[in-house]
Amino acid sequence: MGFEPKIVAFLCNWCAYSGADLAGVSRLQYPPNMIPIRVMCSGRVDPQFVLEAFKNGADGVFIGGCHTPGDCHYVVGNFKAFKRVVMLKKMLAQLGIEPERLRIEWVSASEGRKFAEVSKEFVEQVRSLGPLNYGKREKA
């Protein structure tokens, strides 16, 4: 059996999570590799969560928020999330983790199609990077 990437997806309640719901309502098919965790705002995603996911065996981490500027239900939470991702990508590179394993995307509640497309794309992206096995590497 081929490599099936494990991906944790933090989805903001108002945009990305609702967009994912719409993908479902529209019956748009995408790979089942992403396990969603619903947060109220992408701004809730603490950089530690991303590191914790990689540490525990995630091959990729996805953050879905509202479009910038202005769509965020909490005004600017998406900007905060974006800044943290920029910082995290640099940090991941230093840890020897490909920054492409982390992705942030703006998906509105009306963009079910975009959610499905982005999910497909990201799963393929992580698949091509291969398994990360970060936690296991640490132990070994």
Partner 1 sequence: MARIGVFVCHCGINIAGVVDVEKVVEEISKYPDVVHAEHYKYMCSDPGQNLIVNAIKEKRLDGVVVAACSPNMHETTFRNACERAGLNRYRCEMANIREQSSWVHADEPEKATEKAIQILQVTVEKVKLNSELKEAAVPVTKRCLVIGGGIAGIQAALDVADAGYEVILVEKTPSIGGHMAQLSETFPTLDCSQCILTPKMVAVSRHPNIKLMTYAEVVDVKGFVGNFKVKIHQKARYVTSDCNICGKCEEVCPVIAPNEFDRNLSPRKAIYLPFPQAVPARYTIDTNHCLGLNPLVCGKCKEVCEAKAIDYDMRDEEIEVDVGAIIVATGYELFPKEKIGEYGYGVYPDVIDGLEFERLLSASGPTGGEVVRPSDGKVPKVVAFIQCTASRDPDSYMPYCSKICCMYTAKHAMLYKHHVHDGKAYVFYIDIRAGGKDYEEFVKRAMEEERITYIRGKVSKVFRRGDKMVVWGSDTLSGEFVELEADLVVLASAIVPIPDTKKVANLLKIPVDENSFLKEAHPKLRPVETLVQGVYICGAAHGPKDIPETVAQASGASSKAIAILSGKELYHEPTTAEVNMDACSGCRVCVNLCPFSAITFNETTHTVEINEILCEGCGTCVAACPTGALKLRNMTDKQIFNMIRAALSGGD
Which residues of the chain form contacts with partner 1 (CB under 8 A)?
Answer: 6, 8, 13, 17-18, 20-21, 23-25, 27-32, 35-41, 43-49, 52-53, 56-58, 69-70, 73-77, 80, 84, 116
DSSP character string of 56-91: TT-SEEEEEEPPTTT--TTSSHHHHHHHHHHHHHHH
Contact yes or no for 85/92 (Cβ under 8 A) = no
Query: Least separation, in Å, of the C-beta of 2 and partner 1?
Result: 13
Query: Least separation, in Å, of the C-beta of 58 and partner 1?
Result: 6
Query: Least separation, in Å, of the C-beta of 69 and partner 1?
Result: 8
Q: Which is nearer to partner 1, 74 or 90 (CB)?
A: 74
Q: Which is nearer to partner 1, 128 or 133 (CB)?
A: 133
Q: Which is nearer to partner 1, 38 or 95 (CB)?
A: 38
Contact yes or no for 12/64 (Cβ under 8 A) = yes
Q: Which is nearer to partner 1, 75 or 93 (CB)?
A: 75
Query: Least separation, in Å, of the C-beta of 93 and partner 1?
Result: 21
**Both tokens assigned to 77:** 């939470």
Contact yes or no for 64/107 (Cβ under 8 A) = yes
Q: Report the chain's terminal Cα–Cα distance, integer Å.
A: 24
